[in-house]
């Protein structure tokens, strides 16, 4: 039996050599603004931003904290600065359809100017129009119209009156009209005198009055028509005077916007509307204070000439880069606000507010996909805008009939922008799977790596990155040792000695905390000690549960042996991850075997505490037994496997090697050393395969052994393929160096069982027989005997059944 | 209280009806009365002609706006006149109370102008705010409002003085000059003088009282007395026409009659 050597301490931790750095502290290093090791993502971003085609929006995927946002934002800002300024957008009143405000496009900066020009125009109109109507010209012409009207009706009535007076009849006012009265000497004839008149004269008088009344009626019936004519003439006059006052003022504004046909069309509309409503400008400027509601700035009627400047690029440089932190539906597509007036909600185009799409139009919009998806209707709203390439402001309340009040349908604004979503890979794949529109709209995925290779070149880049972050955060510079320690720690955090983490958030946290401890210790730079302390404190803050669990083992509540040897019992290792802190503890795994029909019973599985991968690992064990020990006969073995004292689920196949060793021990009746713990998965050939969390597992067992006192024989068996992942704690490495603890890399189950039992596993000879006394020979013999036993029982059963047969017929 | 040294105004008569001019006259009279702390006398004359007419068996009335003919009966006319009187009284009461004036109101029945002049014998000043017989003045109101909508400055409407050099006219001149000065209004003097020499003389008299250096004064020569005054007053859109009341009642009646016929602003007669 060849003795398997434990790993040398150097293999347990890959140091970063501070000697490779020529700087004293990171303060000497130039900034490194580029993201490290993200070539794939960087290329994708460059491609996605560069391609100007519909649907080529970006999805930056990867865990939060990688620096995706910072990188893309910085990249876009440098890119956008060279891109043309997008247009300004204004909403103005549509005089034909006031509920559908018009969108006006103006060159950057033109919006604010246009708003000023319109305000100025209204101010000027408010002076010019009353002045025009106050002029003598207007006054005389208006009076002339009245005089004409009065003259016309007076003349008609006067003629009638004269005709009547020729017959001694007067036209008189009554309180409500006119009447004809017979006169005598300037006074109305009394009824007595009338009575004295002869009958013919009376009749003649009545006839005369009747004839005059008929004429009067004709005149009176004409008066409304004359009045109407006069009203129309007044209107025409008002229009003419208004037109003269307005036209040259509006023409001045039009000159300034000669190149903007839409603005010119709007100004024509303004011209027409002002002329139609000159009275609004003639109203007294003094108004009584409003009793209710806010004080009114100007008469409501003049609000309609305002310009609602929605997007103003007057002070912008290049294309906009907008990050919408709260991507609600309304914050994205904009909204129409309402104001309360005497208890009712009213609105107009001046209350249209822009959304992020408006602000980012012509540039780039950055949104966190999780926030976007957690806001009702926001995702749908964004897709609708991208699909239609228009921003339509629609109120959700209205769309779902939640409120019923006056609202607007603003004219949609053309949309041309690139949207960059950020988020976990999960969201990308879920959206890709479930939303058919997603792949049409987000054709470019920028997939960010969590880790990058450790190499001398990358170490220096990393050092510069650390220096840059320290400068940006206002931290003390780091010395060489500290940088090396930080790099080692990031390798540990990804659980790989050959990689470093690209997780900027946790890196920055570590730097900030190391800075804190360095300052507390009164250092001028962050040294290795400060970094160590920061790491230790991070663990200390998070390890309450680990302490409790280890305590349960040390106090004997959870049974774990670290000495002696037992048949069918082995120390497995399981990892727990709570928050962002992972730790491991040993778990006792036991196996029992008996005569059966070839199955290994996974008790965890039977009670639904085992996951699918764990079950797969156990089923592989059955196959391993059958393939190795019962090639030519039925496997008549039944085994049971238990994770003792676990009260939650078990998942993963990293315990299958341990389980196999426990079964072999049970079958061979050779005890296993309890001073060793074992992790690794195994395949049907008995080869050991890599597992995750190897560092935590080793440290978990070490912590228990150290607490009980290291006896020199303790250690952990790990898959050989996990050696490259080792970044063990300094105290573990030191214990190994002193020979108090060992880490054994194993490649096959035979190597593992030899270490655990101290007995040879045994190689089969040409005939397939194992050497006597070896573990494999014992197992093989036991399985053969179980098989024979089964055959014997089967023969007995057949004989019994034969005897019974005639009776049963 | 004196307006000018020799004019003492203790009582002001305001003759009214429910027309727009009536309301303007109440306002003007109340302001005047407040300025000189005089007592305000309101008068409403029930037109005897109307009542007589209503008593005739065939009397009919043609609606002003409806142009429909309907029988006219005495009781209805009487009731309508009473209602107008009540309305006028309310108007006067409101104006007087606003200015804190002593006031009274009476209703008489008779020939309108004669009754007004009869009552006017006991007062110092008459403000006439009645629609005359002119139909046009009644119908014209609405159209005028339309043209004047949005009009900013009623203050620009001047006071018109009719001046012929007579004793009452001189009093009228002093009153008008002072009123115009205090209200910051222009004074337009219509000087009734067929001959140019007379005009110059009368003009000097006007300017001696209303000094063009101290207030805005414009003089116009009026050759044919009354008709021109009326046209002139309408042309400048007078707010108030002030004139001396002729001594004999007959010519006063004719003057008032014809002025009322043609004008659309209150008339102030100074006795």
Same domain, A153 and A224: yes
Q: Which two tokens stand for residue A601?
A: 């019973």
With 60 as the cut, is the pLDDT of residue A291 above it? no
- If you average pLDDT over residues A217-225, what whole number do you get? 87
Distance from CA of B10 to the nearest CA of A (A): 33
> What is the DSSP track for A93-145?
--SS-TTSPEEEEE-TTHHHHHHHHHHHHHHHHHHHHHHHHHSHHHHHHHHHH
b/e A656-681 (16+ beta carbons within 10 angstroms → b):
bbbbbbbbbbbbbebbbbbbbbbbbb
Same domain, A246 and A123: yes
Handedness of CA A492, A495, A497, A501 (dihedral sign): negative
Beta strands in A269-330 (DSSP E): 307-311, 321-324
Q: Which residues of A are designated catalytic?
A: 654, 697
Contact B135 A149 (CB under 8 A): no
Instruction: Provide CB contacts within 8 A for B98, sequence distance 6+.
Output: B30
Segment A647-659, tens digit of pLDDT: 888 888 999 999 9
With 80 as the cut, is the pLDDT of residue B7 above it? no
CB atoms within 10 A of CB A132: 22
- If you average pLDDT over residues B227-231, what whole number do you get? 67
A32-36, A226-230, A415-419, A741-745: range with lowest mean pLDDT:
A32-36
Cβ–Cβ < 8 Å for A491, A454: yes
Alpha helices, DSSP H only, in A494-527?
504-520
Distance from CA of B21 to the nearest CA of A (A): 15
Same domain, A585 and A688: yes
Whole-number mean pLDDT of chain B? 76
With 50 as the cut, is the pLDDT of residue A290 above it? no
Residues 9-48 on B with a CB inside 8 Å of A are 48
Q: Is residue A293 part of a domain?
A: no
Q: Which two tokens stand for residue A296?
A: 């009114």
With 80 as the cut, is the pLDDT of residue A695 above it? yes
User: Within 13 Å, how many C-alpha atoms sit on residue A760's CB side?
Assistant: 11
Q: Which two tokens stand for residue A560?
A: 């774990």
* Nearest-Cα residue of chain B relative to residue A238: B147
A403-407, A489-493, A599-603, A619-623: range with lowest mean pLDDT:
A403-407
Same domain, A168 and A311: yes
* Nearest-Cα residue of chain B relative to residue A231: B143
With 50 as the cut, is the pLDDT of residue A125 above it? yes
Q: Is residue A796 part of a domain?
A: no
Segment A376-387, tens digit of pLDDT: 999 999 999 999
**Residue A654, Cα to own-chain centre: how many angstroms?**
36
Confidence band of A292 (pLDDT split at 50, 70, 90): very low
* pLDDT recorded at residue B264: 67
Same domain, A172 and A216: yes
- How many percent of chain A have pLDDT more than 70? 96
Residue A169: φ, ψ to 5°: -125, 135
A with B: how many residue pairs have Cβ under 8 Å apart? 139
Contact B64 A231 (CB under 8 A): no
B interface mutation test: which of A220, A231, A241 has the most B CBs within 10 A? A220
* Nearest-Cα residue of chain B relative to residue A193: B56
* Nearest-Cα residue of chain B relative to residue A179: B61
B interface mutation test: which of A176, A189, A218 has the most B CBs within 10 A? A176
* pLDDT recorded at residue B131: 55
Distance from CA of A226 to the nearest CA of B (A): 11
Would an 8 Å CB–CB cutoff place B87 in contact with chain A? no
Tell me the CA distances in angstroms from A277 to A89, A238, B233, one per residue in order.
27, 10, 33
Contact B58 A173 (CB under 8 A): no
Select, from the ranges A237-246, A754-763, B30-39, the one with the highest average predicted confidence (pLDDT). A754-763
Tell me the CA distances in angstroms from A219 to A154, A166, A213, A225, one per residue in order.
10, 19, 10, 10
With 90 as the cut, is the pLDDT of residue A722 above it? yes
With 50 as the cut, is the pLDDT of residue B240 above it? yes
Q: Which residue, A123, A365, A354, A351, is CA-closest to A249? A: A123
Spell out which residues of chain B touch residue A230, defining contact as CB-CB under 8 Å.
Answer: 143
With 70 as the cut, is the pLDDT of residue B149 above it? no
Q: Which domain holds residue A614?
A: 548-784
Q: Which two tokens stand for residue B47?
A: 């037109």
- If you average pLDDT over residues A347-374, what whole number do you get? 94
Residues 200-239 on B with a CB inside 8 Å of A are 237
> What is the DSSP track for A667-680?
HHT--EETTEEE--
Confidence band of A368 (pLDDT split at 50, 70, 90): very high
Cβ–Cβ < 8 Å for A222, B67: no
With 70 as the cut, is the pLDDT of residue A95 above it? yes
Segment B20-73, tens digit of pLDDT: 667 777 888 888 888 778 888 888 888 888 888 888 888 888 887 777 888 888
A217-231, A258-272, A522-536: range with lowest mean pLDDT:
A217-231
- If you average pLDDT over residues A716-734, what whole number do you get? 96
CATH assignment at residue A54: 3.40.50.300
Cβ–Cβ < 8 Å for A643, A589: yes
Tell me the CA distances in angstroms from B92 to A683, B18, B33, one per residue in order.
116, 11, 12
Burial class (CB in 10 A: 0-12, 13-18, 19+), A173: buried
With 80 as the cut, is the pLDDT of residue A806 above it? no
Cβ–Cβ < 8 Å for A217, B62: yes
Q: Is residue A420 part of a domain?
A: yes
Confidence band of A415 (pLDDT split at 50, 70, 90): very high
Cβ–Cβ < 8 Å for A102, A286: no
Q: Is residue A33 part of a domain?
A: no
Q: Which residue, A749, A606, A610, is CA-closest to A682? A: A749
Same domain, A174 and A246: yes
Q: Is residue A366 part of a domain?
A: yes
Confidence band of B120 (pLDDT split at 50, 70, 90): confident
Same domain, A328 and A307: no
Cβ–Cβ < 8 Å for B150, A283: yes
Cβ–Cβ < 8 Å for A561, A677: no
Cβ–Cβ < 8 Å for A336, A393: yes
> What is the DSSP track for B134-188?
-HHHHHTHHHHHHHHTT---GGGSPEEEEE-SSHHHHHHHHHHHHHHHHHT--EE
Cβ–Cβ < 8 Å for A68, A40: no
For tokens 């020990």, the residue is A629
By Cβ distance, the residue of A130, A146, A179 closest to B59 is A179
Confidence band of B2 (pLDDT split at 50, 70, 90): very low
Contact B135 A178 (CB under 8 A): yes
Structural domain total, chain A: 4
Confidence band of A357 (pLDDT split at 50, 70, 90): very high
Q: Is residue A290 part of a domain?
A: no
By Cβ distance, the residue of B50, B147, B237 closest to A172 is B50
Higher pLDDT, B213 or A548: A548
CA distance linking residue A378 with residue A389, whole number of Å:
16
* pLDDT recorded at residue A151: 83
Q: Is residue A520 part of a domain?
A: yes
Same domain, A120 and A236: yes
Instruction: Provide CB contacts within 8 A for A65, sequence distance 6+.
Output: A503, A504, A505, A506
Would an 8 Å CB–CB cutoff place B257 in contact with chain A? no
- If you average pLDDT over residues A616-638, what whole number do you get? 89
Confidence band of A170 (pLDDT split at 50, 70, 90): confident
Same domain, A361 and A472: no
Contact B150 A279 (CB under 8 A): yes
Query: Which contiguous run of DSSP H or E holds residue A471?
Result: helix A456-473
Same domain, A306 and A336: no
Higher pLDDT, A782 or B165: A782
Whole-number mean pLDDT of chain A? 89
* pLDDT recorded at residue B138: 39
Cβ–Cβ < 8 Å for A322, A46: no
* pLDDT recorded at residue A164: 87
Higher pLDDT, A230 or B271: A230
For tokens 């706006």, the residue is B65
- How many percent of chain B have pLDDT more than 70? 77
Q: Which two tokens stand for residue A278?
A: 């000159």
Q: Which two tokens stand for residue A200?
A: 């013919």
With 60 as the cut, is the pLDDT of residue A596 above it? yes
Domains of chain B, start order: 1-143 (3.40.50.620), 155-271 (3.40.50.620)
* pLDDT recorded at residue B261: 65
Contact A174 B77 (CB under 8 A): yes
* pLDDT recorded at residue B159: 84
* Nearest-Cα residue of chain B relative to residue A182: B53
With the CA atoms of A475, A477, A483 and A486 taken in that order, what torsion angle do they form, in degrees rounded to the nearest 10?
-10
Residue A300: φ, ψ to 5°: -55, -35
Q: Is residue A135 part of a domain?
A: yes
Same domain, A613 and A708: yes
CA distance linking residue A101 with residue A93, whole number of Å:
5
Handedness of CA A141, A147, A152, A153 (dihedral sign): positive
- If you average pLDDT over residues A121-146, what whole number do you get? 87
Confidence band of A289 (pLDDT split at 50, 70, 90): very low
Same domain, A512 and A552: no
With 70 as the cut, is the pLDDT of residue A786 above it? yes
Instruction: Provide CB contacts within 8 A for A77, sequence distance 6+.
Output: A321
- If you average pLDDT over residues A339-357, what whole number do you get? 87
For tokens 């109203």, the residue is A283
CB atoms within 10 A of CB B101: 18
Confidence band of A805 (pLDDT split at 50, 70, 90): low
- If you average pLDDT over residues B122-129, what whole number do you get? 78
Largest CA distance in chain B: 63
CATH assignment at residue A511: 1.10.8.60
């Amino acid at each position: 039996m060849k003795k398997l050597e434990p790993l040398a301490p150097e293999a347990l931790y890959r140091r970063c050599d501070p000697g490779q750095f020529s700087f004293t502290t990171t303060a000497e290093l130039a900034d490194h603004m580029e993201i490290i090791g993200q070539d794939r993502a960087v290329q994708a971003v460059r491609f996605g931003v560069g391609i100007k085609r519909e649907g080529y929006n970006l999805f930056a995927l990867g865990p939060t904290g990688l620096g995706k946002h910072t990188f893309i934002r910085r990249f876009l800002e440098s890119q956008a600065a060279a891109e043309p300024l997008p247009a300004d957008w204004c909403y103005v009143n549509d005089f034909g359809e006031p509920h559908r405000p018009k969108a006006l496009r103006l060159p950057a900066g033109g919006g604010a100017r246009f708003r000023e020009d319109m305000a100025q125009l209204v101010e000027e109109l408010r002076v010019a129009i009353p002045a025009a109507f106050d002029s003598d010209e207007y006054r005389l012409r208006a009076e002339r119209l009245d005089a004409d009207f009065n003259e016309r009706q007076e003349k008609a009535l006067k003629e009638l009156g004269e005709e009547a007076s020729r017959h001694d009849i007067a036209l008189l006012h009554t309180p409500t009209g006119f009447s004809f009265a017979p006169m005598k000497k300037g006074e109305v004839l009394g009824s007595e005198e009338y009575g004295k008149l002869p009958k013919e004269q009376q009749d003649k008088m009545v006839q005369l009055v009747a004839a005059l009344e008929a004429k009067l009626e004709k005149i009176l019936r004409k008066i409304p028509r004359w009045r109407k004519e006069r009203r129309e003439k007044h209107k025409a006059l008002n229009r003419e005077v208004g037109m003269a006052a307005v036209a040259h003022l509006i023409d001045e504004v039009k000159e300034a916007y000669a190149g903007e046909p839409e603005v010119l069309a709007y100004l024509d509309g303004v011209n027409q509307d002002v002329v139609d409503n000159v009275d609004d400008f003639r109203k007294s400027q003094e108004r009584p204070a409003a009793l209710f509601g806010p004080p009114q700035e100007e008469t409501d009627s003049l609000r309609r000439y305002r310009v609602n400047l929605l997007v103003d690029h007057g002070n912008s440089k290049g294309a906009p880069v907008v990050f919408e932190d709260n991507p609600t539906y309304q914050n994205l597509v904009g909204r129409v606000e309402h104001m309360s007036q005497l208890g009712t909600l009213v609105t107009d185009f001046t209350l249209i507010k822009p959304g992020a799409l408006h602000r980012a139009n012509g540039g780039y919009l950055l949104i966190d996909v999780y926030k976007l998806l957690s806001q009702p209707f926001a995702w749908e709203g964004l897709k609708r805008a991208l699909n239609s390439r228009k921003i339509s402001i629609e109120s959700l309340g209205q769309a779902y009939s939640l409120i019923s009040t006056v609202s607007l349908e603003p004219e949609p604004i053309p949309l041309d922008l690139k949207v960059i979503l950020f988020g976990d890979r999960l969201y990308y794949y879920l959206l890709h799977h479930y939303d058919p529109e997603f792949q049409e709209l987000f054709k470019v995925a920028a997939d960010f790596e969590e880790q990058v290779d450790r190499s001398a070149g990358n170490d220096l880049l990393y050092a510069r990155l650390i220096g840059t972050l320290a400068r940006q955060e206002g931290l003390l510079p780091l010395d060489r040792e500290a940088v090396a320690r930080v790099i080692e720690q990031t390798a540990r955090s990804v659980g790989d000695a050959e990689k470093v983490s690209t997780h900027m958030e946790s890196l920055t946290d570590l730097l900030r905390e190391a800075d804190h401890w360095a300052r507390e210790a009164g250092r001028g730079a962050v040294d290795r000690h400060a970094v160590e302390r920061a790491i230790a404190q991070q663990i200390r803050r998070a390890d309450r549960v680990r302490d409790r669990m280890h305590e349960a083992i040390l106090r004997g509540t959870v049974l774990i042996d670290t000495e002696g040897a037992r048949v069918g019992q082995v120390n497995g290792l399981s990892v727990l991850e709570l928050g962002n802190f992972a730790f491991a503890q040993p778990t006792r795994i036991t196996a029992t075997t008996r005569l059966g029909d070839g199955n290994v019973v996974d008790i965890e599985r039977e009670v639904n505490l085992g996951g699918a991968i764990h079950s797969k690992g156990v089923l592989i064990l059955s196959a391993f037994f059958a393939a190795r020990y019962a090639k030519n006969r039925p496997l008549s073995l039944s085994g049971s496997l238990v994770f003792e004292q676990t009260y939650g689920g078990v998942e993963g196949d990293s315990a299958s090697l341990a389980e196999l060793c426990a079964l072999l021990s049970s079958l061979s009746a050779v005890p296993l050393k309890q001073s060793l713990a074992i992790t690794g998965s195994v395949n049907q050939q008995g080869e050991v395969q890599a597992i995750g969390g190897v560092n935590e597992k080793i440290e978990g067992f070490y912590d228990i052994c150290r607490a009980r006192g290291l006896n020199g024989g303790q250690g952990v068996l790990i898959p050989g393929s996990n050696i490259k992942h080792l970044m063990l704690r300094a105290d573990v490495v030191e214990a190994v160096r002193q020979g108090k603890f060992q880490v054994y890399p194993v490649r096959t189950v035979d190597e593992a069982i030899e270490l655990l039992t101290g007995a040879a596993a045994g190689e089969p000879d040409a005939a397939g027989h194992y050497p006597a006394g070896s573990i494999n020979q014992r197992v093989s013999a036991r399985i053969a005997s179980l098989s024979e036993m089964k055959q014997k029982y089967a023969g007995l059963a057949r004989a019994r059944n034969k005897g019974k047969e005639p009776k049963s017929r | 209280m004196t307006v000018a040294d020799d004019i003492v105004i203790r009582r002001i008569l305001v003759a009214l009806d429910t027309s727009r001019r009536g309301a303007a006259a109440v306002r003007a009279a109340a302001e005047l009365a407040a300025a000189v702390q005089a007592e305000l006398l309101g008068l409403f004359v029930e037109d005897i002609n109307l009542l007589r007419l209503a008593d005739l068996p065939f009397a009919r009335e043609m609606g002003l706006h409806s142009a429909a003919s309907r029988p006219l009966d005495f009781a209805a006319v009487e009731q309508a006149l009473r209602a107008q009187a009540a309305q006028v009284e309310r108007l006067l009461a409101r104006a007087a109370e606003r200015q804190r004036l002593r006031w009274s109101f009476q209703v008489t029945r008779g020939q309108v102008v004669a009754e007004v002049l009869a009552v006017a014998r006991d007062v110092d000043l008459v403000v006439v705010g009645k629609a005359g017989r002119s139909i046009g003045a009644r119908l014209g109101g609405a159209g005028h409002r339309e043209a004047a909508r949005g009009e900013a400055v009623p203050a620009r409407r001047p006071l018109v003085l009719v001046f012929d050099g007579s004793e009452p006219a001189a009093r009228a001149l002093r009153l008008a000059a002072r009123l115009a000065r205090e209200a910051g209004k222009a004074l337009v003097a219509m000087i009734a003088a067929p001959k140019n020499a007379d005009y110059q003389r009368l003009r000097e008299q006007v300017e001696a009282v209303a000094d063009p250096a101290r207030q805005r004064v414009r003089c116009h020569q009026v050759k044919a007395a009354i008709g021109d005054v009326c046209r002139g007053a309408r042309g400048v859109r007078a707010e108030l026409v002030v004139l001396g009341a002729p001594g004999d009642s007959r010519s006063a009646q004719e003057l008032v009659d014809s002025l009322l016929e043609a004008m659309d602003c209150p008339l102030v007669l100074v006795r």
